[in-house]
């Protein structure tokens, strides 16, 4: 029980600081940043050539990614002590390592940033789906749905990007991959923190 509370708290905080970190870095970014035309990673640094980065957006983004990655790896360790489901734990650790990689290698460091981002998106989508092995209804279906949305969007973006690019841009597409994963992560955290009953209520 204690392990699940710890892992739940870490998963929840990881999801929350990533989302709040992105919003804050966007707010600090100079005018011209667009959630349509800019990738999330541009908050850390834009791609080469002519890479640019702006403070404090860059530091905020890179730090929260690094911290969130460490939290996900630690949380996976704690929850694995309880569930022992490798099908979830392996992609979850890879997801955490991907986040750490995104934090260490900003967008200007090719190809490392691209590799870390791909690992984050793919492993994140897969572990959201495989988390059904440790969840009960109805959240297990939510997890499968959110992981599927993230993976499907990622595949469309990679193999048939023209279908989405003109509507929501590269920024919108990337957010439709990242946000479902982060919202699932946040939900998984709170789910694991639940002690199984509410206090002071009748059921």
Of residues 51-70, those binding another protein (CB under 8 A): none
Residue 193 binds to another protein (criterion: CB under 8 A): yes
Distances from the Cα of 95 to the Cα of 58, 101, 158, 189, angstroms: 21, 10, 19, 15
Does 163 bind another protein (CB under 8 A)? Our answer is no
Of 8-16, 65-73, 102-110, 112-120, the segment contacting another protein by CB under 8 A is 8-16
CB within 8 Å of 134: residues ≥ 6 apart: 79, 83, 85, 88
The reply to whether 166 sits near another protein by the rule CB under 8 A is no
Rounded-to-10 torsion of CA 129, 131, 136, 142: -40
Report the C-alpha dihedral over residues 107, 148, 182, 67, rounded to 10 degrees. Answer: -50
88 vs 95 by CB, closer to another protein: 88
Site of interaction with another protein (CB under 8 A): 1-5, 8-9, 12-13, 15-16, 19-20, 23-24, 26-29, 31-37, 81-85, 133-139, 142, 167-169, 171-172, 175-176, 179, 183, 186-203
């Amino acid at each position: 029980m204690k392990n699940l509370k710890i892992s739940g708290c870490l998963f929840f905080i990881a999801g929350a600081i990533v989302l709040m970190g992105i919003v804050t870095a966007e707010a600090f970014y100079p005018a011209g940043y667009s959630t349509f035309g800019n990738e999330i990673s541009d908050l850390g640094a834009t791609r080469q050539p002519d890479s640019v980065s702006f403070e404090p957006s860059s530091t905020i983004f890179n730090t929260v990614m690094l911290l969130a990655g460490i939290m996900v790896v630690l949380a996976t360790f704690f929850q694995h002590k309880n569930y022992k489901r490798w099908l979830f734990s392996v992609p979850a650790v890879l997801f955490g390592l991907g986040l750490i990689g995104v934090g260490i290698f900003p967008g200007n460091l090719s190809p490392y940033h691209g590799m870390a981002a791909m690992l984050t998106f793919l492993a994140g989508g897969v572990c959201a789906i495989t988390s059904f092995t440790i969840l009960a209804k109805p959240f297990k279906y939510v997890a499968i749905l959110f992981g599927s949305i993230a993976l499907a969007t990622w595949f469309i973006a990679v193999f048939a990007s023209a279908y989405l690019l003109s509507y929501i841009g590269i920024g919108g597409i990337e957010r439709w991959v990242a946000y479902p994963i982060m919202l699932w992560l946040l939900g998984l955290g709170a789910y694991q923190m639940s002690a199984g009953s509410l206090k002071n209520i009748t059921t």
